[in-house]
Amino acid sequence: MKSSSKGGLVYSTESGRMCPECRRPVAECICKTIARTKPAGDGVARVSRETKGRGGKSVTIVKGLALDPMALAVLGKQLRTACGSGGTVKDGTIEVQGDHCERIVEELKKAGHSAKRAGG
C-alpha cells in the first residue's frame, strides 16, 4: 500500500466528513476562506482591448493585478475617471469602456503598478 501526502483520515465518527486539505471537519473547513483572501494574479497588469461578445464595441481589459476586491474596485474607479468613461470590475479584472490602453498603462505606472500591453 502506497502512502500519499494527501492520504489520511477522510471520515470521523465524531465529526463526520473531514477536509483532505486542512484536516478539519467539513463544517469547520478553512480552505475556502484562505482561497478567497488570496488575490489572484502575479502582480503584472496586462492591458488589452477586447470586442468579442460586445456587439463590436471595444472594451479595455486589465488583468493580473494582485489586489483584494476592495482595492481593485478603487483602482477601477480611478482608471474610469482618468479615461472619462464607464466600466466595471468583474472576477478580478477591470473593464473600461472604449479603447484606452495607452492611457490606462500610463495611469497604472503612475500608481506604482507594473503594467504592460497584451494582445494585438
- pLDDT tens digits, residue range 37-86? 555 667 788 999 998 888 889 999 999 888 888 888 999 999 999 999 99
Separation CA 33–CA 41 (nearest Å): 17
- Is pLDDT above 70 for 36? no
Give me the pLDDT at residue 110, please: 92
Confidence tier at 28 by pLDDT (50, 70, 90): confident
Give me the pLDDT at residue 39, please: 56
Compute the residue count for the chain: 120
Q: What is this structure's pTM?
A: 0.65
Domain ranges of the chain: 8-38, 44-117
Tell how strand 44-50 and strand 59-63 pair up.
antiparallel
Domain range 44-117, CATH architecture: 2-Layer Sandwich (3.30)
Dihedrals phi, psi of 8, to nearest 5 degrees: 135, -155
Give me the pLDDT at residue 1, please: 40
